[in-house]
Every structure is written in C-alpha cells, then in structure tokens.
Amino acid sequence: MALTPDDVVRLAGLARIELTAEETSTLAPQLDLILDAVASVSQVATADVPPTSHALPLVNAFRADEVKPSMPAAEALAMAPRAEQNRFRVPRILDEEAR
C-alpha cells in the first residue's frame, strides 16, 4: 500500500500537525515503510505459538522479611532541612482543591 502525499496531509490533519509540502513528500515514503513493517507482523506463523502475556516466564525474587537495625528517626530528622512533629517537613506542592 503506497501512501500518497494527500494521505499524509489527511493523517496530519487528523493528528492536528501542520506539515510543509517538503515534510509531506519526505514523510510519505517513510510512513509507507512503517506500515509495511506493521503489516508483516500479520504474516507470522501463529498456529503453533500459544498466546502469552510475556515472552519469558516471570518469577518474583522474594527474600525473607527480616528485621534489621536501621537509622534512628531522631538521627534521620537531624539531617533534614526541616522537621515537624517527628516527621520530615516538605513544601506543599498541591492546593487544597487538588485532593
């Protein structure tokens, strides 16, 4: 299927993209190649390939949940620019209406 410059102009209009005549003539063969590549996917032999959600099996790498010593809260808060009520104080980034 060969795309014409008129096809590219129509597609650009649908996407609300303004193209010059030079861009239109450059994009037509490039988009044609892309469409050919996408169409070639339908030619893949799929009769013997089962449907899958991932190419490789997924396995979660879980580790044991172990309690380990960590930095005391007072020490972490001492390094913060501001602390309030035993918490980090950060600037508000959302208005009340955004909640």
Domains of the chain listed by start with CATH number:
5-41 (1.10.20)
Q: Give me the pLDDT at residue 83, please.
A: 93
Nearest to 22 by CA among 1, 8, 2: 8
Nearest to 28 by CA among 45, 50, 49, 5: 5
pTM for the structure as a whole: 0.44
Q: Could you tell me how many residues make up the chain?
A: 99
Q: Give me the pLDDT at residue 11, please.
A: 92
Helices (H), 15-59: 21-41
Q: Residues with Cβ < 8 Å from 18, sequence gap 6 or more? A: 12
8-51 pLDDT tens trace: 999 999 999 999 999 998 999 999 999 999 888 877 767 777 77
